[in-house]
């Protein structure tokens, strides 16, 4: 409803006010960003998460929550990974990265995801599969990420065969 109202010039200011009230109310109720993710039913969006008009509302809440609760750590990636497998999530991010309006968010999350894989020393065969590197062009985002990951892995986990 708020999303629809924000599209109309005559109701845009009301929509912004409602949006702000939602943020205030969630914070007042002590709702963590993970809870709000579920309240907005983003957990039901499946691989269409980045197409959801409610995703920006959730992102605004994360920013608001961080501002109002600076001592509480909020990791967007951790919340998202609770709802999506690495294979599904990396596919969603690679698809979202092709859309100019979603590219920055997708790139940031993809970088965070690869860093998480590095920290947990995820075996390259899994990363290769999750990024769907098979048959991709040499200059594709997936291929570049995988090549960087493989190089890192070989440097930091030299005793394991890849």
User: pLDDT at position 4, please?
Assistant: 55
pTM (2 decimals)? Answer: 0.80
42 and 97 belong to one structural domain: no
User: pLDDT at position 3, please?
Assistant: 57
Distances in Å between the alpha carbon of 126 and those of 50, 59, 90, 94? Answer: 24, 29, 12, 16
What is the average pLDDT across 144-152? 91
What is the average pLDDT across 22-29? 94
* Domains held by the chain: number: 2
Q: What gap in Å lies between CA 55 and CA 51, rounded to an integer?
A: 8
146 and 100 belong to one structural domain: yes
**Sign (positive/negative) of CA torsion 38, 44, 46, 48?**
negative
Q: Reply yes or no on whether the pLDDT at 36 is more than 80.
A: yes
pLDDT digits (tens, 9 = 90+) for 89-131: 999 999 999 999 999 999 999 999 999 999 999 999 999 999 9
53-62, 124-133, 135-144: which range is least confident on average?
135-144
140 and 102 belong to one structural domain: yes
Enclosing domain of residue 127:
85-162
Compute φ and ψ for 122, nearest 5 degrees: -65, 135
| End residue of a domain, out of 82, 117, 136 | 82
What is the average pLDDT across 61-75? 94
159 and 89 belong to one structural domain: yes
User: What is the separation of C-alpha 141 from the centre of its chain, rounded to a whole number of angstroms?
Assistant: 17
Is the separation of the CB atoms in 5 and 18 below 8 Å?
A: yes
76 and 113 belong to one structural domain: no
78 and 90 belong to one structural domain: no
Mean pLDDT of the chain: 88
Please name which of 73, 72, 74, 69 lies closest in space to residue 58, comparing C-alpha atoms. Answer: 74
129 and 160 belong to one structural domain: yes
| End residue of a domain, out of 52, 82, 112 | 82
| End residue of a domain, out of 63, 82, 101 | 82
5 and 65 belong to one structural domain: yes
User: pLDDT at position 10, please?
Assistant: 67
Q: Reply yes or no on whether the pLDDT at 7 is more than 70.
A: no
């Amino acid at each position: 409803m708020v999303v629809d109202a924000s599209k109309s010039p005559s109701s845009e200011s009301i929509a912004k006010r409602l949006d702000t009230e939602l943020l205030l109310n969630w914070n007042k109720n002590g709702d963590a960003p993970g809870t709000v993710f579920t309240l907005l039913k983003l957990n039901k969006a499946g691989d269409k998460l980045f197409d959801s008009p409610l995703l920006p509302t959730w992102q605004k809440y994360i920013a608001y929550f961080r501002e109002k609760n600076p001592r509480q750590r909020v990791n967007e990636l951790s919340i998202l990974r609770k709802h999506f497998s690495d294979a599904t999530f990396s596919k969603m991010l690679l698809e979202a990265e092709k859309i100019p309006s979603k590219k920055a968010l997708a790139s940031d999350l993809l970088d965070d995801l690869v860093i998480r894989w590095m920290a947990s020393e995820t075996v390259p065969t899994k990363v290769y599969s999750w990024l769907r590197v098979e048959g991709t062009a040499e200059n594709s985002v997936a291929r570049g990420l995988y090549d960087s990951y493989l190089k890192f892995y070989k440097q930091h986990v030299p005793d394991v065969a890849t």
